[in-house]
Amino acid sequence: MAEAQSATIEQHAERFQKDFERVRGEVQKAVVGHKEVVEGVLVALFANGHALLEGVPGLGKTLLVRSLAQSLSLAFNRIQFTPDLMPADVTGTTIVVETETGREFQFRKGPVFTQILLADEINRATPKTQSSLLEAMQERSVTVGGVTHTLERPFLVMATQNPIEQEGTYPLPEAQLDRFFFKLEVGYSTRSELSEILNRTTTGESPALARVLDAATILAHQKLVRHVRIAPHVQDYAVRLVLSTHPKGQFATPLTNRYLRFGASPRAAQTLALGAKVHALLAGRGHASVEDIQKCALAALRHRILINFEGEAEGINPDSIIQNAVETLPADGRVTA
């Protein structure tokens, strides 16, 4: 039965691969380089997860998300987060309007009522405004004035942020960070990439992006991802990888015990499993592997662990702790109670 299911999934994997590459191709018409970041955003899309892109200004984070929206037949809104942005500016508000029968309350929807939301420079808004996205990101709904409004599916938040060391930024609350499927770090372009950027942006020509996928197709692919099989030992590897970030825990590494204040949540394990399933489909398989889990480790865990004071003093990067866990954690560990 399981083998038959895997065979059926593998039959659909070819269509999944083609659609994935079609979207990637459209995005890369506008975005030069950043191949790992583009792939990470698309993995989050097909796993029905939100993505957080971090990097200094001018590296193409906003362009990437805009290009993704242009290649999909989905509703798109952008919110420019600023210190004076209020929660109602995101979710909407109830107002009093004059009608033929008198005055009545009406709800005016905010920009969060869309399918792809670009939360630009999200860490420039106050924590109170940032937290206005919590319900939308988790439950795909918005509650205002005691009334809950359901958001249209698919609903994805693609947020950009500048490094928190820069002036005028606020660290995202841990509860909100945990709701992001992946955190992707956008680095500087190479010499050849910068030359290509100039060729594309200083010649008076701009690429035309085609809309290659609609909502129904994306939802079908997201459903397919959920049906990819994950063997018990592979799932256990994901579980142990998450537990390896818990200080003083059974699977904690020496670096974890020394430098982490707290580790990743159960959402991290969900992210590892779903991200691995997407990578399995991209490889034409109906089952996820340990290698698929490892491909997702950095993006799934880096924003879900907190460095302690000693680690901050020594300049420890979360990625180094995660990479150490990936390199030292046995792939064939036994399932433990």
Which whole number is the average pLDDT over 126-144? Answer: 86
What is the topology classification, in CATH, of domain 230-337? Helicase, Ruva Protein; domain 3 (1.10.8)
Each domain of the chain, given as residue ranges in start order, spans: 1-84+112-227, 230-337
CATH topology of domain 1-84+112-227: Rossmann fold (3.40.50)
Distance in angstroms (rounded) separating the CA atoms of residues 289 and 245: 21
Backbone angles phi, psi at 73, to 5 degrees: -85, 65
pLDDT band at 162 (very low <50, low <70, confident <90, very high): confident
CB 237 within 8 A of CB 290: yes
Locus of tokens 């860490």: 123
Average pLDDT over residues 286-305: 93
Which of 80-94, 102-116, 196-210, 222-236 is least confident? 196-210
> Looking at residues 224-229, what average pLDDT do you find?
92
Q: How far apart are the first and last CA of the chain?
A: 28
Q: Is the pLDDT of residue 98 over 80?
A: no
Average confidence score pLDDT of the chain: 86
Q: Which of 121-130, 192-201, 276-285 has the highest mean pLDDT?
A: 276-285
**Per-residue pLDDT reduced to its tens digit, 29-44:** 888 888 888 899 999 9
- pTM recorded for the entire structure: 0.87
- In this prediction, residue 3 carries a pLDDT of 54
Q: Which range is most confident: 102-106, 196-200, 219-223? A: 219-223
Report CA Rg, the chain: 21
pLDDT at position 337, please?
A: 39
Q: Is the pLDDT reported for residue 121 higher than 60?
A: yes
Residue 324 structure tokens: 């150490």
Higher pLDDT, 59 or 300: 300
Instruction: Please answer whether residues 61 and 186 qualify as being in contact, where contact means their C-beta atoms are separated by less than 8 angstroms.
Output: yes
Q: Which residues contact 264 (CB under 8 A, 6 or more apart)?
A: 242, 245, 246, 300, 301, 304, 305
Question: What is the distance, to the nearest Å, from the Cα of residue 27 to the centroid of all Cα atoms in its chain?
Answer: 16
